[in-house]
Each structure stands twice: as C-alpha cells, then as structure tokens.
C-alpha cells in the first residue's frame, strides 16, 4: 500500500487511479443528492436533508482496516473487502426522512445497491443507529465506465450528534472505554432515540394541523 512500502511506478499509478475513481464516485453521489434535494424542495416545499459530508479514507486507515480484518494489504484486497473507502454521510431532520432519502437514491437507474445495513431497526450493541447503503456508481473514464463502491450513511441530527461524541470518547480510550462509560453511552443512545421519536411525532402533529387549515 501507499504508505507501507516502496511501490514501483506502475503500482503508484494504479493506486492513484483507484483513489481518483473513489474521489470521483463521491462527487457523483454528492451531485445526485444535491439534485434530489432541490427536486424535493421544488415539489414538496420541504427539504429532508440538513447537510451532507463526505470523506475519502486515508492510506493509513485502509492498511489498518485490512490488517485488522486479516487481509493482504494490496490493491486487490482493498477493492474486494473494503466498502467504505469512499463515504458520504447524509444528515436529515426526522427518522421518516431516512427511508425517503434511501428510496430516492435506490431509484436512480445507474446506482446499484449492493448491501443495506439498517442499524435503526437493529441498533448495534453500543447503541449506534444509522442506515448504511453500499452502492456502486459508474465513473465514465475515457476507457469506459468503472463501477465504483461508495458507502452512504443516512441518519438524523440526533443520531449524528451521538455518533460523533461516542467516536471522540472511544478515541480517548483507544477503543477500550470503561464499562461504566459504555453503559452511559447506551443510555444516552436510548435518550436520543426517544428524542427522535418525540420530534417525529411533533412534526406529524404539525403537518396534520396544517393539512386541516388548508382544507378550510
């Protein structure tokens, strides 16, 4: 890999080409999301997407994950076993928006959904909730289209808040937080989930009131 050993000229070129593809895939997905957001605003006068972030996994992170999972640290293993080298995160207002956004993305003709991990229906043991989609999008090179994988995470503001702080806390303990801290994080995740449910219920109540007013 790029930061682990000295590579030949051809290997460097292959690495750079591969990372170019992943970076281009992020641009493609971001453009699609922007168009879908604008269309939704135009058609429904409502924007379900609060903000979007993206990132390209570093060479060091790629090597560490391959080693952690017991794979060779080469380009072939990287493409075969890692689904999150290119990542896009969509943060929305309400839990119901998550599934709307996922459907809008899935309905794109040139996007292929490879895998869905619904951590909202089945949260992780630590309380983590999010909706993950592994997709491929074609990148049209001069030599032809190259199907490239992207991981899309969709979550509410509350879920994103919890996940961000949980990551920072675990980083301080190098991934081995004391049991009391783990229990507190799970309890915070429960509170976050309750907040999401209440905010969704409140929004539905507001929409019902507005609907009745428009009928008058």
Phi, psi (degrees; rounded to nearest 5) at 118: -95, 90
State whether residue 162 is helix, strand or coil: helix
Letter string b/e over residues 50-85, b meaning 16 or more CB atoms within 10 A of that residue's CB = eebebeebeeeebbebbeeeeeebebebbeeebbbb
**Quick check: 55 and 87 in contact, CB under 8 A?**
yes
Of 68, 143, 62, 130, the closest CA to residue 101 belongs to 130
**Quick check: 135 and 149 in contact, CB under 8 A?**
yes
State whether residue 168 is helix, strand or coil: helix
Residue 10 Cα distances to 7, 13, 16, 17, 196, angstroms: 8, 5, 10, 10, 50
Angle between helices 95-106 and 179-215 (to 10 degrees): 80
Which residues are part of the catalytic machinery? Answer: 151
CA 80/CA 20 separation, integer angstroms: 17
């Amino acid at each position: 890999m790029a930061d682990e050993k000295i590579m030949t000229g051809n290997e460097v070129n292959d690495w750079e080409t591969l990372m170019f593809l992943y970076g281009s895939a992020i641009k493609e997905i971001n453009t699609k999301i922007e168009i879908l957001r604008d269309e939704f605003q135009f058609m429904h006068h409502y924007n379900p997407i609060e903000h979007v972030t993206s990132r390209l996994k570093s060479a060091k992170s790629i090597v560490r994950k391959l080693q952690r999972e017991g794979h060779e640290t080469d380009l072939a293993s990287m493409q075969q076993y890692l689904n999150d080298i290119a990542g896009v995160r969509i943060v929305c207002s309400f839990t119901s928006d998550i599934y709307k956004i996922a459907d809008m993305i899935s309905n794109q003709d040139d996007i292929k959904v490879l895998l869905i991990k619904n951590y909202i229906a089945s949260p992780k043991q630590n309380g983590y909730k999010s909706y993950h989609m592994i997709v491929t999008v074609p990148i049209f090179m001069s030599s032809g289209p190259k199907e490239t994988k992207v991981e899309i995470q969709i979550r509410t503001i509350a879920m994103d808040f919890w996940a961000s702080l949980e990551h920072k806390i675990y980083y301080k303990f190098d991934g081995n937080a004391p049991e009391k801290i783990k229990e507190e994080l799970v309890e915070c995740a429960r509170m976050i989930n309750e907040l999401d449910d209440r905010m969704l219920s409140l929004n539905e109540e507001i929409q019902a009131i507005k609907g009745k007013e428009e009928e008058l």
